[in-house]
Amino acid sequence: MKDVHAMAPTAGRLDLRRVGVSGIKKPLSIQRPDRVVTISASFSVDVDLPASRKGSDLSRNAELLAEVVDSTATSPVESLESACQAIARELLMRHQYATQAQVEASGTYFRSRGISERRRSFEDYKILAGARATRDSNGGEPELHRIIGGEAVGMTACPCAMETAREILESEFPLLKDPSFAKFPIISHNQRNRTRLLFEVHPGVNIEVDRILDAIEAAQSSPTYAILKRRDEAQVVLDAHRNPKFVEDVMRDLLSGVVGRFADLPDETLVIVETVSEESIHKYDVTASHRMRLGELRQPAPA
């Protein structure tokens, strides 16, 4: 049979950056300390393509995903990112014409969470992972990077509306200025906040996704929970209003938290944060994003 992909392109002879497949869904089993968890993950993989070839051998991508991911049903892997890294590395082996390979994966990740031990239940988070392999032009080992991240939904209460409401209420309810009300929580607007934290690291580096999700939840006004009885519900509301945050605060608190929580990661680790607050007082969202090396983050703040 004619190998149409290996033929010369009929159109302009151009190198192409990324050619691949996306939206391949697979069950991936991960060995956790206490049990095996199975994630329903979605994968995208691609490689570059030289000007000399008409097409990329895409069936190899699907074969490779099947080999690496399907086998986890019987032999669970260490992590989603280690599976991504194995795929990225092997993509370069199977696409000899390619100089780099990318893999991205995401899935729902469940954690047992609760405002108290009696209210625990499985709640949904996102796990995000990826890998990049660059061929060594001297025939040596490819250069590898892995990405590991997560997304958690929590709650924010707005610090600005709270201050303005306080001023209005103090004029309407003069007793509110009594010193005993110093720490009284004032109404504001609150919203679903959706925050992502990702790290790009060297191949040998492992990061538990739970550490990432804990860091995010610690930076929101309050985590949220599936099961809240009356008193619990009021507790979350009190917690959030005693800890009001803009998206800017969520981001800065998260980045500060990363310095303290991830002291084991090297300076060259790339830190990527995205946060979205689905405003309750607007029909639109408020967003912030940032990326920097962990080394920069560790420098003392300018005076």
Give the integer Cα–Cα distance in Å for 186 and 117.
29
The Cα angle at residue 144 between residues 138 and 145, in degrees rounded to 5: 150
**Residues between 93 and 112 with contacts to a second copy, criterion CB under 8 A:** 107-108, 110, 112
Q: Can residue 297 be called a binding residue for a second copy (CB under 8 A)?
A: yes
- In whole angstroms, the minimum distance from the beta carbon of 85 to a second copy comes to 20
Q: Can residue 170 be called a binding residue for a second copy (CB under 8 A)?
A: no
Span from 77-85, 91-99, 133-141, 278-286 in contact with a second copy (CB under 8 A): 278-286
Give the nearer residue to a second copy in terms of CB position, either 205 or 259.
Answer: 259
**Residues between 199 and 238 with contacts to a second copy, criterion CB under 8 A:** 222, 224-231, 233-234, 236-238
- In whole angstroms, the minimum distance from the beta carbon of 291 to a second copy comes to 7
Q: How many other CB atoms are found less than 10 A from the CB of residue 278?
A: 15
- In whole angstroms, the minimum distance from the beta carbon of 250 to a second copy comes to 9
Give the integer Cα–Cα distance in Å for 161 and 135.
53
- Contact with a second copy (CB under 8 A) among 264, 266, 281, 295: 281
Instruction: Give the H or E element holding residue 86.
Output: helix 80-94
The Cα angle at residue 284 between residues 279 and 287, in degrees rounded to 5: 75
Dig out the tokens for 148 from the structure. Answer: 């590991």
Give the integer Cα–Cα distance in Å for 197 and 81.
14
Instruction: Give the H or E element holding residue 250.
Output: helix 247-261
* x/- letters, 120..149, toward a second copy (CB under 8 A): xxxxx-------------------------
Report which of 118, 33, 24, 110 is spatially closest to residue 76, judged by C-alpha positions: 33
**Residues between 233 and 272 with contacts to a second copy, criterion CB under 8 A:** 233-234, 236-238, 240-241, 246-249, 251-253, 255-256, 259
Give the nearer residue to a second copy in terms of CB position, either 205 or 272.
Answer: 272
- Contact with a second copy (CB under 8 A) among 140, 175, 204, 263: 175
Give the integer Cα–Cα distance in Å for 118 and 27.
31
* x/- letters, 22..51, toward a second copy (CB under 8 A): xxxxxx-------x-xxxx---x-x--x-x
The helix/strand/coil state of 249 is helix
